[in-house]
Amino acid sequence: MQTYRLAICENELIQAKFIQKILADYAVERGIQFHLPIFESAEAFLFEYAENKAVDLLFLDIQMEELDGVALAEKIRETVDQLKIVFITGMTERIGEGYRVSASDFLIKPVKKDQLYAVLDRVLTTIPKEEAVIVLPIEDEQVKLPLSRLICAEIVGKELVITTTTSTYSLKTSMQDFMKQLDNKQFIQTNRNWLINCQHIERVKKSEVIMANELVIPISRRNSKDVAQAFISYFRKDAQ
């Protein structure tokens, strides 16, 4: 499930919670996940953001006490360009100030659900997707592996041998337990002992699949249709 890191900086707590509820509903309806902390002042957000810049999209009230929303955005832009900012305001005359700090959009108070949904539909498409990863327990360390690098996995004796674009790893785990960590639309078993990543398939034949690294992997008669369909479905989705 795709996760986006959102934040709401709004000094009116009732308004902030109202926006938070709409955002939560949107996430459920779209099948995605939001982190949704609320900050009741620009200073509180700035303190947190200085420590941990883990925010993709900030909903920012323009009119706040002491440091206002535009001033906060200017401070953010001194060091960060990629953070998406959506201003919330009841003062339409200040909308022009948002262009100085490359605001992605604006919401006029009182915020309406359909307007917020429309903003999300536009802005979320501009946020790079977070690459899915798994963590492999290799001997006495934990190795983080992006799923895009995983080519295939094979049961060899009592171990699972994983081939990636850069390395090979051996794990003491079962195929079933390993598959629980994966996106089942991207990975498919060709037979009881082999699992492949559709992203790295070069060609599919009746009894074997040729991977992009030229590795030839056998396909059982039972799994041949499923492998062919998974290959077609994956690249059809990827092309959309």
On the question of pLDDT at 238 being above 70, the answer is: no
pLDDT class for 28, splitting at 50, 70, 90? Answer: very high
**Looking at the 3D structure of the chain, how many domains does it have?**
2
pLDDT of residue 236: 78
Query: For 41-80, how does the pLDDT look when each residue is reduced to its tens digit (9 = 90+)?
Result: 999 999 999 887 889 999 999 998 889 999 999 999 998 8
Q: Which residues contact 238 (CB under 8 A, 6 or more apart)?
A: none
Query: For 105-124, how does the pLDDT look when each residue is reduced to its tens digit (9 = 90+)?
Result: 999 999 999 999 999 999 99
Distances (CA, A) of 86 to 27, 60, 140, 238: 17, 6, 44, 29
On the question of pLDDT at 240 being above 80, the answer is: no
Residue 88's identity, in one-letter code, is I
Task: Give 78's DSSP letter.
Answer: T
Domain boundary among 91, 126, 161: 126
On the question of pLDDT at 184 being above 80, the answer is: no
Domain boundary among 89, 104, 126: 126
pLDDT of residue 95: 79
Report the C-alpha gap between 55 and 47 in whole angstroms: 13
pTM above 0.75, yes or no: no
Claim to verify: residue 39 and residue 87 sit in the same structural domain: yes
Tokens of 126: 């501009």
Claim to verify: residue 62 and residue 156 sit in the same structural domain: no
CATH number for the domain including 37? 3.40.50.2300
Query: For 159-177, how does the pLDDT look when each residue is reduced to its tens digit (9 = 90+)?
Result: 999 999 999 999 999 999 9
List residues bridging with 84 in a β-sheet. 57
**Poorest-pLDDT segment among 69-78, 131-140, 150-159:** 131-140
Claim to verify: residue 71 and residue 177 sit in the same structural domain: no
* Mean of pLDDT values over 7-21: 97
pLDDT of residue 182: 87
CA distance between the termini of the chain: 18
Average pLDDT, whole number, for the chain? 92
Claim to verify: residue 13 and residue 114 sit in the same structural domain: yes
What is the distance, to the nearest Å, from the Cα of residue 183 to the centroid of all Cα atoms in its chain? 13
CATH number for the domain including 184? 2.40.50.1020
Question: Using an 8 Å Cβ cutoff, are 49 and 76 in contact?
Answer: yes
Q: What is the 3-state secondary structure (H, E, C) of 2-55?
A: CEEEEEEECCCHHHHHHHHHHHHHHHHHHCCEEECCEECCHHHHHHHHHHCCCC
Claim to verify: residue 234 and residue 163 sit in the same structural domain: yes
Domain boundary among 126, 153, 180: 126
Claim to verify: residue 84 and residue 172 sit in the same structural domain: no
On the question of pLDDT at 154 being above 70, the answer is: yes
pLDDT of residue 94: 78
Report the C-alpha gap between 7 and 58 in whole angstroms: 5
Claim to verify: residue 139 and residue 92 sit in the same structural domain: no
On the question of pLDDT at 183 being above 80, the answer is: no
Query: For 31-43, how does the pLDDT look when each residue is reduced to its tens digit (9 = 90+)?
Result: 999 999 999 999 9
Q: What is the domain extent for residue 194?
A: 133-239
Claim to verify: residue 62 and residue 150 sit in the same structural domain: no
Claim to verify: residue 108 and residue 142 sit in the same structural domain: no
pLDDT of residue 73: 95
Claim to verify: residue 8 and residue 95 sit in the same structural domain: yes
Claim to verify: residue 95 and residue 151 sit in the same structural domain: no
Claim to verify: residue 96 and residue 160 sit in the same structural domain: no
